Amino acid sequence: MRRNLVAGNWKMHGGLVANQRLLADVVLGAATLGRIELAVFVPFPYLAQTQSLLSPTAIAWGAQNLSEHAKGAFTGEVSAAMLGDFACRYVLVGHSERRSLFGDTDAKVVAKVEAALAHGLRPVLCVGETLAEREAGSTMEVVGAQLAAVLDRVGVAAFAQVVLAYEPVWAIGTGRTASAEQAQEVHAGLRQQLAVLDADVAAGVRIVYGGSVKPDNAAELFAKPDIDGGLIGGAALVAEDFLKICRAAGE
């Protein structure tokens, strides 16, 4: 029933020439993919280029962050309405790099989710535990609290528009991925947390996994019942690898 989503998070990589080539290759390869949805999260300056190259295709695009404010004296910030001007379908919220490096607290993440929803953008809400938290056995407590912070404020019905991304911090950019069983356990726990409030919303929410997904581990992860695709960092910068991962999600 849920359609898998594979989304590339380019982080602070790219350039006009490189993007053109990467997107052209992805568009070409995507033509033969099955029922999955594709998206790319590009740096702000490349939203116009991405919009122009992807508008004729079914591939979605979005930004990696947004301001919680609507407008005003917030130098360097980008609002939800501005992202709407570039026809973004999605926006990443609460990526662990934003949480750890740029002060995105749970309160800020909640406000950003609200700003996105108010402007018709679908937030991809990232949650994940650190290695110390996993080793202390508090993974579900940590990701559950990150989800609850948003849930308590926006309500479960809003999750019809939200994609959840489980991204263990220790697996992002490290080459060390969660096992399919570890990921499935967390995904099922997150879905259960929603199901307590609304079984239909829980059944429809896509929960994607992120953290060193590569062509050789994607199929095993995506075969799990509660893993509905992936958020892909490093491997999304190489068209061939990204497309192999997309194919694994279409099987």
Q: Which residues in this chain contact ligand PEP in the complex, by CB under 6 A?
A: 9, 11, 167, 172-173, 210-213, 231-235
How far apart CA 48 and CA 88 sit, in angstroms, is: 10
Comparing CB distances to ligand PEP, the nearer of 54 and 231 is 231
The minimum distance between CB 213 and ligand PEP, in angstroms, equals: 6
Is residue 167 flagged as an active site residue?
yes
- Which residues share a beta bridge with 124? 92, 163
Comparing CB distances to ligand PEP, the nearer of 231 and 243 is 231
DSSP labels for 190-223? Answer: HHHHHHTT-HHHHHH--EEEESS--TTTHHHHHT
The minimum distance between CB 47 and ligand PEP, in angstroms, equals: 18
Residue with tokens 């607290």: 105
What is the signed CA dihedral for 112, 113, 118, 120, rounded to 10 degrees?
Answer: 120
The catalytically annotated residue of 95, 97, 114, 187 is 95
The minimum distance between CB 173 and ligand PEP, in angstroms, equals: 4
- Residue 149: CB atoms within 10 A of its CB come to 19
Amino acid at 172: I
Comparing CB distances to ligand PEP, the nearer of 104 and 167 is 167
The catalytically annotated residue of 97, 114, 129, 167 is 167
Comparing CB distances to ligand PEP, the nearer of 50 and 212 is 212
Residue among 76, 192, 98, 174 nearest 134 (CA): 174
Is residue 13 flagged as an active site residue?
no
Query: Three-state DSSP class for 70?
Result: coil
Here the tokens at position 165 are 């991304």
Q: List residues with catalytic annotation.
A: 95, 167
